Amino acid sequence: METNKSLLFLLFLAVSAVFADEDVFIGVNIGTELSDMPHPTQVVALLKAQQIRHVRLFNADRGMLLALANTGIKVAVSVPNEQILGVGQSNTTAANWVAQNVVAHYPATNITTICVGSEVLSSLPNAAPILVNALKFVHSALLASNLDRQIKVSTPLASTIILDSFPPSQAFFNHTLKPVLVPLLKFLQSTNSYFMLNVYPYYDYILSNGVIPLDYALFNPLAANKEAVDSNTLLHYTNVFDAMIDAAYFAMEDVNITHIPVVVTESGWPSMGDSNEPDATVENANTYNSNLIKHVLNKTGTPKHPGIAVSTYLYELYNEDNKAGPLSEKNWGLFNNNGTPVYILRLTDSGSLFANNTSNQTYCAAKEGADSKMLQAALDWACGAGKVDCAPMLQGEPCYEPDNVAAHATYAFNAYYHKMGRAPGTCDFNGVATITTTNPSHGSCVFSSIGRNGTFLNGTAPAVDSTSSSSAYPVQYLNNNAFSTTLMMILGILGLTVVLL
């Protein structure tokens, strides 16, 4: 089984040759269309736990900006599309927006970027004529506050504005949009800002009617004869992502604009879809995002600009169950709204190029409201056949308190989960356990969140019988001092088979 070595979101790497004062990064988008949106402090707690150091907001929510204060997390705020017309038609409106949503929070909240709208040219065409004005007015407000060097202004664009994108060398911008795009690009060039692009190989793949191979969309390795070759440049492309980035570079060159770095403001893959969306799966989402993170942080670059990585914001932090559209629209998130990961990303062969990983900071806990008899049976199994060291839950030991089945089950479940290398299915226990990123440690009772290097067995905890009254080490005896010494001796003799990660 492939070893899950890490899930990481950010590491400062190297200086880009195109944009020398910016580190390459992986960030994450934070959407809010959830029926039960976590409180801003909960969101920030998750970001900090995962060491996510760059985020993009689709608005400038005051609660989020306050929660992000003094964290050091770099924040891209957004002028929502519904406010574009006002900001683009009035310098005063733009100045007020910047004063209320940026200046009021900076520098405590580390705002580094203002995204003016989102895919305005394709989703809000009536605002296209004033888009550049909106950027200029916002930048002027920053200039007046002496923040123009610290905070960049740009606008995320859909990759669909680029036509004839393969081969990349033939790519060009939609001609009807050039009256807006050319002055936009000149503004970005003059202010040392970024060309922001949303890149979704998932959509390119499903709309290609089989022309694009799934492996090519997912960054999976291709045989040399399967690589796509640009007949004009003879550059070889091994994935859709790189081809789209280079298409953007060539499209800019087509209008005589160069030396503007590309930042991908959205990219990801859905983990679930309707019956007619068979490729929206957990496995494909895991593969795409894992490979994308490695690709960016390893400074692979693109065939046109090798070694120049393209900083990217993953889409997105949470699944958004209130999103309209097909099931896939609701399932782009890396986490559920309770902070549990939808899947554990796999980042193998990344060397030391990571700072943190979710697999090293997940815990297995008893589900809130789980049936006590089911918990008892699962706990009995974990301390018995599961061979978990339950000695720390003995009376007088660090994890004895609180003395209830849920707390003891959480300790045992987590110990088994990590003993089995956090393998899929090892935090279920007949449905009474769940993976969480919240550390259940308390006082001197410390819960493991870190697996050990090595290999681990494929393992799923067997189903437990909620009516069972026997096990090798039933929990009801853990509170019996007469049994405690015997239990500890047995555990010492048996030891633990350390099943390494």
Q: Tell me the pTM.
A: 0.71
Half-sphere exposure for 384 (CA within 13 Å, toward CB):
18
Give me the phi and psi of 258, to 5 degrees please.
-135, 175
Side chain identity at residue 89, one-letter code? Q
- Whether 119 is a known active-site residue: answer yes
DSSP structure class, residue 315: S
Q: Of 33, 119, 320, 329, which residue is the catalytic one?
A: 119
What are the pLDDT digits (tens) for 188-222? 999 999 999 999 999 999 999 889 999 999 999 88
The residue from 2, 22, 253, 266 that is catalytic is 266
Low-confidence winner among 9-23, 368-382, 416-430, 440-454 (lowest mean pLDDT): 9-23
Q: What is the pLDDT of residues 84-94, one digit of tens each?
A: 999 999 999 99
Report pLDDT digits (tens) over 423-442.
778 898 998 998 887 778 88
82 classed as catalytic? no
The C-alpha atoms of residue 241 and residue 329 are separated, in whole angstroms, by 20
- Report the first-to-last Cα separation within the chain, whole angstroms: 11
pLDDT digits (tens, 9 = 90+) for 249-291: 999 999 999 999 999 999 999 999 999 999 999 999 999 999 9
Coil, helix or strand for 293?
helix
112: its two tokens: 């580094």
The residues near 43 (Cβ < 8 Å, ≥ 6 apart) are 30, 64, 67, 317
Phi, psi of 116 (to 5 degrees): -90, 100
Closest CA to 311 of 350, 262, 358, 344: 262
